[in-house]
């Protein structure tokens, strides 16, 4: 079944740790995105990619980095997590000709 997957669903880590949030889609979409969502707040675009080896920063500045080595995979990395990074991270994808986004279930990150 075509879908978009995020792991882990929940992550609690200590300050200074390096983490990678995984996102994979099996829909063959060219475009992928990372949004950050704080409780009761808007979703903010932090990274996007329109294809392999293409990554761009979004509207909200983020200390995280992303890579797009394969079409289906768009991981997000924090080299040194801090409590200010505590948030929900949502991955999404879309077809090149359509603006409809398909979202994963999200990763709730808590940095202690």
Partner 1 sequence: AQSVTQLGSHVSVSEGALVLLRCNYSSSVPPYLFWYVQYPNQGLQLLLKYTSAATLVKGINGFEAEFKKSETSFHLTKPSAHMSDAAEYFCAVSGSSNTGKLIFGQGTTLQVKP
Q: Which residues form the interface with partner 1 (CB under 8 A)?
A: 4, 6, 31, 33, 35, 40-45, 48, 58-59, 90, 92, 94, 96-106
Least separation in angstroms between residue 18's CB and partner 1 is 25
Of residues 17 and 105, the one with the C-beta less far from partner 1: 105
Name residue 37's beta-bridge partners.
43, 88
Q: Tell me the CB-side half-sphere exposure of residue 1, using CA atoms within 13 A.
A: 3
- Give the pairing of strands 19-25 and 76-78: antiparallel
Of residues 2 and 97, the one with the C-beta less far from partner 1: 97
Cβ-based neighbours of 10, under 8 Å, separated by 6 or more:
107, 108, 110
Of residues 17 and 50, the one with the C-beta less far from partner 1: 50
Least separation in angstroms between residue 15's CB and partner 1 is 27
The token pair that represents 12 in the structure block: 């609690």
């Amino acid at each position: 079944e075509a879908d978009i997957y995020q792991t882990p669903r929940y992550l609690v880590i200590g300050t200074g740790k390096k983490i990678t949030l995984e996102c994979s889609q099996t829909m063959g979409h060219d475009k992928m995105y990372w949004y950050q969502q704080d409780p009761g707040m808007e979703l903010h675009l932090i990274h996007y990619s329109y294809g392999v080896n293409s990554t761009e920063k979004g509207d909200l500045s983020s200390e995280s980095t992303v890579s797009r080595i394969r079409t289906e995979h768009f991981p997000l990395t924090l080299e040194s997590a801090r409590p200010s990074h505590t948030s929900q991270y949502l991955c999404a994808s879309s077809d090149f000709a359509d603006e409809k986004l398909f979202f994963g279930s999200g990763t709730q990150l808590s940095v202690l």
